[in-house]
Structure 1
Amino acid sequence: MPLVHIAMRAGKSAAYKQAIFDGLYRALHETFDVPEDDQFMVITEHDTASFRYGKSYLGIARSDELVFIQITANNTRTVEQKKALFRRAMELLGEAPGLRSEDVFVNLVEVTKENWSLGQGLAQYA
């Protein structure tokens, strides 16, 4: 049950944003075994004054096309699965909407299962 927050510069088309949603869901499905219909994602858009990043941190040449992706998920995945997710997300977002690998920034936040309520005031995974 990942929850995905995507932050990017404003001005992209609906098709561009949909390609990001689709690519990330596919990467999660393939590498984290996320089930069908388990799609909880949001995109926030920011103007130039509200979007800041290190253009060359760690020797990576980022551009204004940079997309921040923060995924909150259960702490049940292996290091190999996490690496596979990062790699697959970069590959798929490179295909559509055409992001450069340097502009795919992913942060994984892991939580324990009891930290979710998916509705009805219940802790469904506890």
Structure 2
Amino acid sequence: MPFIRVSYLQERYQPQQLEQVSQAIMRSLVQHFKVPADDYFQVFHAHQASEFFYSKNYLDIERSDSLLYIQITLKSGRTAEQKTGFYAMLAEELSTTVKIRKEDVFVVLVDNEYADWSFGNGMAQMLQRAIGEES
């Protein structure tokens, strides 16, 4: 049940490239976090240069204006091994399919719990599902 936000500099990527980014994120989520393929919720945000800031060399990583900020909100419980495998696979996928430099793939995972999600109808579907599994 991840929710993904991708931010990038306006006019840096073409619609086809953004679709490839979306698919690469999904493939990596399915492989490393066992996310169902139809659990697909992503939003892409283009920013003007006056709204997009970053360190060009923090932690000795040389970033460019092709930087992608990828924020993924997801249920807690993934191991450090799963997360690091996910980061590696996603950077590799994006470098080969979209030709994005690995240095320009910035990912942050935001963990939360079942009660933090409503997929519609004013209900906490995942919380209700978890309670049903316990009984």
Give the deviation of 1:34 after TM superposition.
0.6
Report matched runs for 1:27-66 at 5 Å: 27-66=28-67
Give the C-alpha shift of residue 95 in structure 1. 1.1
Partner of 2:3: 3
TM-score normalised per structure 2: 0.91
Deviation at 1:120, TM superposition (A): 0.9
Which SS does the other structure have where 1:118 is aligned? Answer: coil
Match of 1:75 in 2: 76
Which residue pairs with 2:132 in the alignment?
Answer: none
- 2 CA distance for matches of 1:84 and 1:3? 19
CA distance in 1, matches of 2:28, 2:104: 17
**Contact 2:26–2:37 at 8 Å: present in 1 too?**
no
Q: CA deviation at 1:46?
A: 0.7
SS state of the match for residue 111, structure 2?
strand
Mapped partners of 1:104, 1:17: distance in 2: 13
Q: What do residues 64-94 of structure 1 show as CA deviations (whole Å, max 9, x unaligned)?
A: 0000000000002111111111111101111
Mapped partners of 2:36, 2:70: distance in 1: 20
Using CA pairs under 8 Å that are at least 6 residues apart, name the structure with larger relative contact order, 1 or 2.
1
The residue type equivalent to 1:10 in the other structure is Q
Match of 1:100 in 2: 101
C-alpha deviations, 1:30-70, integer Å up to 9, x for none?
A: 10001021110010001111111000001100000000000
Point out where structure 1 has 5 or more consecutive residues left out of the alignment. Answer: none
Moved over 3 A (4+): none
Q: How many residues align?
A: 126
Unaligned runs of 5+ in 2: 128-135
Structure whose CA Rg is larger: 2
More helix, by proportion: 2
Percent same amino acid among aligned pairs?
37
